[in-house]
A and B are shown apart, each in its own frame.
Chain A
């Protein structure tokens, strides 16, 4: 229980589930949308106690809840958060009303089921970040698969069948090994409790194998090169809200898993594997950026840019120094805000032009000034422009990289440059390119490129391009505010994430040494 007299975290998880059951009874799409919006806003209100009651300086987990679940197996319903989980939960909750809002027109089929999936998704994601029991974590981790699968498979684009199955099978295949690791931990540590498991020491051989099993699950989720192939497919086919949740929350579960499980529970193996993980992270950064440069589909471009950004987060984690960890966490948060906003905006433009191709969405600066203004802001943020949110995270990661080794730092720099290259190229064409449609003049194809065989995607069936409506403004303003605020005053984020990261790192380093001493004494005993 907490100082608020009621289980705050449970209320955050249970409320969306209850709300979705209530929504399932509704039939009228308009009523459902309103209902979902109300539920999402209530969820935001329910998260206020977290902000009010969280003590950044206090050690350990806060808002603890503990109920024995299956006593015969030592399973417990155990929740609690530290600074790391707090920002991820706030991100999840904060995006919920925005995802409902940005699907207002986008989703016209099976509206009720869509919102049920969105709410269940949010509940599962919050559960993942709040769980302090390995099994409970796994339950939420897997439970999230089904609504996300349905979001892609039912409301997705033309190739949704392939994309959704690939997403499901890829993630499930990864998590089966996580299940095995979990079972192995239970037998080795005698408990499923995450804090208790993190406090114990395991043999290197054991750490080696569980690290591999867990990293596979988490690396697929991140996704890290070469396990990233499901991501572009899923992103491109998912509806706008699905892409937002996927980019902003789902991918973070992977990096969160590395921070919460791999580093504390397998410290020696983490050190052992760090160079390999750094190499893969660098590969993700460079490969993601390079492939993004070659995309003509805007959504695919942003999806590959996600691979690059999450590469930065992975790099930060396995640098195993304070700057790196801080940077990783900030990248996680800021990527959620910025890329979430970009995917939302792609949804908006798709509602107008019914195309995600760059060629069909060119020269918008003249017709959609407000849209391009926001786009410019988030694009600059995405490429790490100083003064905007992403810069802080990437800069901190790069500091960490140079601290680790100059070579690694030098190798990561081109990644940042590639981000500038593909984002500027995209934004340039979208804002000032040869206009792909003249409002009201649909019949006049004015033969640009001549490759437009399909129904002219010009300005929503011949209507002139219309700039952002009030609904869309409402979606973007909070994110734009956050992008600026976290860019100019990042100290607030540091204040929340520094204490848990410092503790993580201190314990990590302490346990680096301890087992080595133990191994030595073992060796002596053997002699």
Chain B
């Protein structure tokens, strides 16, 4: 069997850059600055990922599938890495000597996620997951002399390790039930897997690590704490990239079993219940928060619930909608975190009161925050609306109508705290102790670009959605 390198273009491109930045950590830690050249490298990775969007193939003894789904997510991960690299290029709380380490860990994590997107064998999945996770564990405490960052790092790692442990336990059960760790073997007779208690137990336990990554209830407790403790830029990374990896694996696993509420006791019913709890819990908890990053943390829990909406339906459209929403969520959240990190100036956490008067001090950032927040509510014409519309439409009529109604009502609950962000930014008068510096032209322009992306994805979703739809069809023809 020969390896077809052209299929692995995004992974190999990124790997080359990772090796380069690794060499830099060894020899020349500060010159040239990794923050200067890494965004370009990430952009090249984006191009590589975009060029391989249509690729298909099976590599590494059937453990590594390159299909529409994996390529869509690799592209999304590359885009996320690019924005995250730009975001990190000015991180006030990162010592210069740590910069190349930071980028090494960041890109290694993204690389692990790319592997995750293509893994179709359980052990490979776990290995890819660990590559991405361990890099992030090390990333979180990299915040200048802050004990709370260390606390966040420890919390993130302990939770993560426990969840992975549970997952491995589930893997063992699955292997016991079917004698294989290949997804296509597990999938070949789904009815049997779903009807054997061992199989259901195995799948459920195996999901734990990914639900943890997604911050779905009841695996969400780390999210607000870690977001708050980690630096603004790091929180932006932790909030977005790993979610993509979790969604891609969940989409693959969701294609495993039979679906619909008729199948009592199925994993999808469990997911539906978790989804409803996640939305409601996340939104209700977010109502009481004052720290912007904590708000975004609980909001991510709520959004994890929305994504799962697409999975429980178990149709090609549902999987496509979930994939599309994951991309939308990535851009929306990065837009919000962009504003938080650039407006904060010296890297401290922002509370709602700090946002007061943003419209006067940084009008474009205020606009970006507005678009991001209304996008997270799901208001048109942002991408948040189109994504949510696809999700709700795909889930209706498959026995989970109640979940659709819960999701719709949750939109109304969530409106309050997202509106709060906009209210402070647009109607609050500048407070007496404003964040130190007014951001310059470049951050505002990039923020406006992110906002424009959100609006464009909302108004013209068809070209991008096409790839998500292809991904859904590839799994469930």
Q: Which residues of A contact B (CB under 8 A)?
A: 69-73, 110, 113, 135, 138-140, 142-143, 145-146, 149-150, 153-154, 160-161, 164-165, 168-169, 172-173, 176-177, 179-180, 183-184, 186-187
B381 and A165 form a contact (CB under 8 A): no
User: Given A146-B374, A154-B426, A154-B427, do A186 and B393 touch, yes or no (CB 8 Å)?
Assistant: yes
Q: How many A-B residue pairs have CB under 8 A?
A: 86
- Which residue of B has the minimal Cβ distance to A179? B408
User: Given A177-B408, A180-B392, do A138 and B465 touch, yes or no (CB 8 Å)?
Assistant: no
> Helix, strand, loop or mixed for chain A's interface?
helix
A173 and B396 form a contact (CB under 8 A): no
Q: Which 6 interchain pairs have the tightest Cβ spacing? A: A139-B380, A173-B412, A176-B408, A187-B397, A183-B396, A70-B462
B412 and A176 form a contact (CB under 8 A): yes
B411 and A187 form a contact (CB under 8 A): no
A180→B397 CA distance, assembly (Å): 11
25 contacts between A and B (CB under 8 A): A70-B461, A70-B462, A70-B465, A72-B320, A72-B462, A72-B469, A139-B380, A140-B380, A142-B385, A153-B423, A153-B427, A161-B423, A165-B416, A169-B412, A169-B415, A169-B419, A173-B409, A176-B411, A177-B408, A179-B411, A180-B392, A183-B392, A183-B396, A184-B401, A187-B397
Residue B404 lies at the interface, judged by CB distance under 8 Å to chain A: yes
Residues of B within 8 A of A142 (CB): 379-380, 385
B426 and A153 form a contact (CB under 8 A): yes
Residue B405 lies at the interface, judged by CB distance under 8 Å to chain A: yes
Residue B175 lies at the interface, judged by CB distance under 8 Å to chain A: no
User: Given A153-B423, A180-B408, do A145 and B469 touch, yes or no (CB 8 Å)?
Assistant: no
Residues of B within 8 A of A73 (CB): 389-390, 393
A183 and B416 form a contact (CB under 8 A): no
A168→B381 CA distance, assembly (Å): 16
Q: How many Å from the CB of A192 to the closest CB on chain B?
A: 9
A179 and B415 form a contact (CB under 8 A): no
User: Given A72-B465, A154-B427, A168-B419, do A146 and B379 touch, yes or no (CB 8 Å)?
Assistant: yes
Q: How many Å from the CB of A222 to the closest CB on chain B?
A: 18
Q: How many Å from the CB of A17 to the closest CB on chain B?
A: 10
Which of the four size classes fits the interface of chain B? Answer: 20 to 34
Residues of B within 8 A of A186 (CB): 393, 396
Residue B118 lies at the interface, judged by CB distance under 8 Å to chain A: no
Residue B386 lies at the interface, judged by CB distance under 8 Å to chain A: yes
Q: Out of B380, B393, B462, name the residue touching A183 (CB < 8 Å).
A: B393
A176→B404 CA distance, assembly (Å): 10
Known: A154-B427, A176-B408. 4 other contacts (CB 8 A): A153-B423, A168-B415, A173-B412, A187-B396
Residues of B within 8 A of A154 (CB): 426-427
Residue B6 lies at the interface, judged by CB distance under 8 Å to chain A: no
Residues of B within 8 A of A165 (CB): 416, 419, 423
A143 and B379 form a contact (CB under 8 A): yes
A110→B427 CA distance, assembly (Å): 11
- Which residue of B has the minimal Cβ distance to A177? B408
Residues of A within 8 A of B427 (CB): 153-154, 160-161
Which has the most chain A C-beta neighbours within 10 Å: B386, B409, B416, B419? Answer: B419
Residues of A within 8 A of B462 (CB): 69-72
Residue B466 lies at the interface, judged by CB distance under 8 Å to chain A: yes
User: Given A153-B427, A161-B427, A165-B416, do A143 and B380 touch, yes or no (CB 8 Å)?
Assistant: yes
A180 and B404 form a contact (CB under 8 A): yes
A110→B465 CA distance, assembly (Å): 38
Residues of A within 8 A of B411 (CB): 172, 176, 179
Q: How many Å from the CB of A138 to the closest CB on chain B?
A: 7
Q: How many Å from the CB of A218 to the closest CB on chain B?
A: 16
B404 and A138 form a contact (CB under 8 A): no
Residues of A within 8 A of B393 (CB): 73, 183, 186-187
Q: How many Å from the CB of A19 to the closest CB on chain B?
A: 17
Q: How many Å from the CB of A171 to the closest CB on chain B?
A: 10
Q: Which residues of B contact A (CB under 8 A)?
A: 320, 359, 370, 374, 377, 379-381, 385-386, 389-390, 392-393, 396-397, 401, 404-405, 408-409, 411-412, 415-416, 419, 423, 426-427, 461-462, 465-466, 469
A140→B37 CA distance, assembly (Å): 43
A274→B389 CA distance, assembly (Å): 31
A143→B321 CA distance, assembly (Å): 22
A306→B393 CA distance, assembly (Å): 36
A87→B409 CA distance, assembly (Å): 34
- Which residue of A has the minimal Cβ distance to B458? A139
A145 and B379 form a contact (CB under 8 A): yes
Q: How many Å from the CB of A436 to the closest CB on chain B?
A: 32
A164→B385 CA distance, assembly (Å): 22
A172→B413 CA distance, assembly (Å): 9
A82→B401 CA distance, assembly (Å): 34
- Which residue of B has the minimal Cβ distance to A160? B427
Residues of A within 8 A of B390 (CB): 73
B419 and A176 form a contact (CB under 8 A): no
- Which residue of A has the minimal Cβ distance to B408? A176
- Which residue of A has the minimal Cβ distance to B380? A139
A176→B283 CA distance, assembly (Å): 15
B416 and A139 form a contact (CB under 8 A): no
Residues of B within 8 A of A187 (CB): 393, 396-397
Residues of B within 8 A of A164 (CB): 423
A138→B408 CA distance, assembly (Å): 14
- Which residue of B has the minimal Cβ distance to A187? B397
A110→B363 CA distance, assembly (Å): 12
A150→B422 CA distance, assembly (Å): 9
- Which residue of B has the minimal Cβ distance to A139? B380
Q: How many Å from the CB of B314 to the closest CB on chain A?
A: 15
A295→B374 CA distance, assembly (Å): 36
A74→B219 CA distance, assembly (Å): 37
Q: How many Å from the CB of B394 to the closest CB on chain A?
A: 9
- Which residue of B has the minimal Cβ distance to A172? B415
A186→B397 CA distance, assembly (Å): 10
Q: How many Å from the CB of A209 to the closest CB on chain B?
A: 10
A183→B370 CA distance, assembly (Å): 27
A511→B401 CA distance, assembly (Å): 27
Residues of A within 8 A of B405 (CB): 177, 180
Q: Out of A160, A169, A179, name the residue touching B416 (CB < 8 Å).
A: A169
B426 and A150 form a contact (CB under 8 A): yes
A135→B462 CA distance, assembly (Å): 15
Residues of A within 8 A of B380 (CB): 138-140, 142-143
Residues of B within 8 A of A179 (CB): 389, 392, 408, 411
A164→B419 CA distance, assembly (Å): 10
Q: How many Å from the CB of A142 to the closest CB on chain B?
A: 5
Q: How many Å from the CB of A29 to the closest CB on chain B?
A: 15
Which has the most chain B C-beta neighbours within 10 Å: A71, A143, A146? Answer: A146
Q: How many Å from the CB of B318 to the closest CB on chain A?
A: 12
Q: How many Å from the CB of A492 to the closest CB on chain B?
A: 35
Residues of A within 8 A of B465 (CB): 70, 72
A139→B397 CA distance, assembly (Å): 23
Residues of A within 8 A of B401 (CB): 184
B386 and A70 form a contact (CB under 8 A): yes
A176 and B409 form a contact (CB under 8 A): yes
Residues of A within 8 A of B469 (CB): 72
Which has the most chain B C-beta neighbours within 10 Å: A72, A139, A169? Answer: A72
Q: How many Å from the CB of B376 to the closest CB on chain A?
A: 13
Q: How many Å from the CB of B206 to the closest CB on chain A?
A: 31
Residues of B within 8 A of A183 (CB): 389, 392-393, 396, 404
Q: How many Å from the CB of B371 to the closest CB on chain A?
A: 10
Which has the most chain A C-beta neighbours within 10 Å: B389, B423, B426, B469? Answer: B389
Which has the most chain B C-beta neighbours within 10 Å: A135, A140, A176? Answer: A176
A113→B392 CA distance, assembly (Å): 34
Q: How many Å from the CB of B457 to the closest CB on chain A?
A: 12
- Which residue of A has the minimal Cβ distance to B401? A184
Q: How many Å from the CB of A27 to the closest CB on chain B?
A: 11
Residues of B within 8 A of A113 (CB): 359
A160→B404 CA distance, assembly (Å): 33
Residues of B within 8 A of A71 (CB): 462
- Which residue of B has the minimal Cβ distance to A184? B396
Q: How many Å from the CB of A253 to the closest CB on chain B?
A: 15
